[in-house]
Structure 1
Amino acid sequence: MAIQNNILLKIRDMKDSMTPVERMVAEYILANTEEIPHLSIKSLAQFSRTSDASVLRFCKTLGYSGYRSFIVSISASVGSMDEEQKDEYTDIQPGDDLNVVVSNISYNNMKSIEDTLSIIDRSAVAKAVQALRDTNRIVFFGIGASGLVCMDGEQKFSRINKMCHAYTDGHSQLTAATLLGKGDVAFFVSNSGDTIEILEALEITQRAGATSIALTKFNKSELADKADIVLSISTPEVTIRSGAMGSRIAMLTVIDILFAGVASAEYPNIKKYLLKTHNILAGKHRR
């Protein structure tokens, strides 16, 4: 399994949202992972055709105070990536045998979950769980495939007597955002983090004083920059829809983690709600 806080995965996922100069550093690192731990900041700047200052800014973009701490993280990640090098995400090709499709989709989904666990901020997860525990009103915002993740969140948290709803179109999202206030939680789901409707709703909820949680790809997006709590997923670099499938599975896993975190911490209080909802559904199944 991938190690926690794998910086190489973070670089891979952030690369496309970096500045052109930062991307040059990122691309050199990803293409030459074995040699990076042995390079000085001057050497890395020279080989990536940038400058010492650019490399230092790159390190700070990734959350490091300096080059030395960045290199320590690189060294810790290289071994893990070496073990997984043969196990990269595999895109689905037209005409693939069904057995190949079954294997590749299953592996990509598993790897999306594993890679997400290696980059997600555990302290952010704890903050999100606490915010969800403290509120009785949760509103989920997501468009398209992200809306399906929101609907899953609504279904789960409704079972423990949280007042919640998923809004999956732009107009209803703006209306719902306007009605939120202090003590409410606005939960935004967007892989890109740049969906216009989501950003408009985010601005409204924050003006109203609601706590905002973002579930998004690890990148430098406006959603990640502005949300109060950010939960990042790692997604594969593939072209056909298997990439979107992997990101959806990773997001659903994060929803499961949050729900289980809240339910576990509040179990004495919410046990009765879980039993009631289970019993009523079980009764339907017997008919």
Structure 2
Amino acid sequence: MVERDTAAGVAVDGSALDRPGPPARTVADGVLAHVRSRLPEFTGALQRVADEVLADPDRAARATIVELAERSGTSPATITRFCRALGFEGYAELRLGIAAETGRARSAGWTVDIGREIQPGDPLDRVLGQIMAADTRAMHDTAALLDLAAVGRAADAIARAPRVNIFGASGSALVGEEMRSSLHRIGVAAWAWRDVHDGLAAAALLGPGDVALGVSHSGQTRETIELLAEAGSHGATTVALTSFPRAALAELADIVLLTATQATTFRPDALSARHPQLVVLDLLYIAVAQRTHSRAHAAFQRTARAVDGHKAARDGSA
């Protein structure tokens, strides 16, 4: 579960105050994904530092604190505040994390600074390469950000829940419907709601023991926030799937599951979030199936047999 910040204010240079971040991260964590997830709360000087780090991670990993301050138009003191806002004790630790991440990326055969601009005349092989690179990076970043203990708690709650309601709008609603379908196939009573009126009525009927899952890349979709809040007010366990740990949706949820994105031309963040969201929900679905193995296996076998007659005959006669 993501810890809540209580401090608020403005730094002396006009930037957002570096509120306490999560515990210091190790070099195995997705440093750059963490920076991206904090972007909405950075303003002024801290935002310029974040933009400089994300624009050229390799150069940031090689730069001294003075060089990074000059390139971002800030000061060494701001760089130090930026590091502490991310949970690092100092700049050396941040540089080490970025260098380790860029090194892993190179050894894996893809770059951290992925070219994301797709031109109308680009050949499809180049477009495919960019999409694959962006999605690969997003998956790695999501794996680094994801709190597996939180996934386990969400799976425990869903496995015990009499009812599971899933809320989302637009593309997030499609992702939510996929999760509903998966849970339904293993005997979990799940519903997905995209209409706010129907969703509010369903949320109002939830109670202790039930689960409400809200899906929103930005974590700021008003309808999804309202639906999850309504469910929580009646005692349901609330789960948020979002890319931003301090977004409104995450702040009101009992359990927060994080995703990362890599946008490209024609696929902004909200669209590029779909695959990481599906990966996290697939993991959650499998965790639920593990916890309800006997029931899930029997339900899956029965549902598979029920639809088997609608498959084409293997000899081609149908």
TM tier, shorter chain? 0.7 to 0.9
SS of equivalent residue, structure 1 residue 284: coil
Equivalent residue, structure 1, for 2:38: 14
C-alpha change, 1:144 and 1:35, in structure 2 (3 Å) is closer
- Counterparts of 1:183-198 in structure 2, within 5 Å, are 183-198=209-224
Structure with greater helix percent? 1
C-alpha change, 1:268 and 1:4, in structure 2 (3 Å) is farther
Q: By how many angstroms is 1:89 displaced?
A: 5.1
Check the 8 A contact 1:4/1:119 in 2, yes or no: no
Which of 195, 214, 228 is the aligned partner of 2:254? 228
Equivalent residue, structure 2, for 1:276: 302
Equivalent residue, structure 2, for 1:80: 104
Q: CA RMSD in A?
A: 2.9
TM-score normalised according to structure 1 size: 0.84
Equivalent residue, structure 1, for 2:178: 152
Whether 1:66 and 2:95 are equivalent positions in the alignment is: no
What is the number of residues matched between the two proteins?
284
Whether 1:205 and 2:231 are equivalent positions in the alignment is: yes
Deviations 1:114-150 (A, max 9, x none): 3322322222222222222222311110000100001
TM-score normalised according to structure 2 size: 0.77
Q: By how many angstroms is 1:74 displaced?
A: 3.5
Equivalent residue, structure 1, for 2:279: 253
Equivalent residue, structure 2, for 1:178: 204
Q: By how many angstroms is 1:245 displaced?
A: 4.0
SS of equivalent residue, structure 1 residue 285: coil
Unaligned runs of 5+ in 2: 1-26, 313-317
2:227 maps to amino acid: A
1:125 maps to amino acid: V
C-alpha change, 1:120 and 1:249, in structure 2 (3 Å) is same
Partners of 1:148 and 1:36 lie apart in 2 by 38
1:211 maps to amino acid: T
Check the 8 A contact 2:102/2:111 in 1, yes or no: no
Q: By how many angstroms is 1:54 displaced?
A: 4.3
Check the 8 A contact 1:92/1:242 in 2, yes or no: no
Partners of 1:33 and 1:206 lie apart in 2 by 40
Which of 156, 163, 178 is the aligned partner of 2:189? 163
Deviations 1:161-212 (A, max 9, x none): 1111000122222222211111111101111110111111122122111111
C-alpha change, 1:222 and 1:138, in structure 2 (3 Å) is same
State the percentage of identical aligned residues: 33
Q: By how many angstroms is 1:233 displaced?
A: 1.2
Whether 1:30 and 2:54 are equivalent positions in the alignment is: yes
SS of equivalent residue, structure 1 residue 172: helix
Check the 8 A contact 1:213/1:231 in 2, yes or no: yes
Greater CA deviation, 208-217 or 94-103?
A: 94-103
Q: Which has the higher contact order (CA 8 A, sep 6+)?
A: 1
C-alpha change, 1:39 and 1:239, in structure 2 (3 Å) is closer
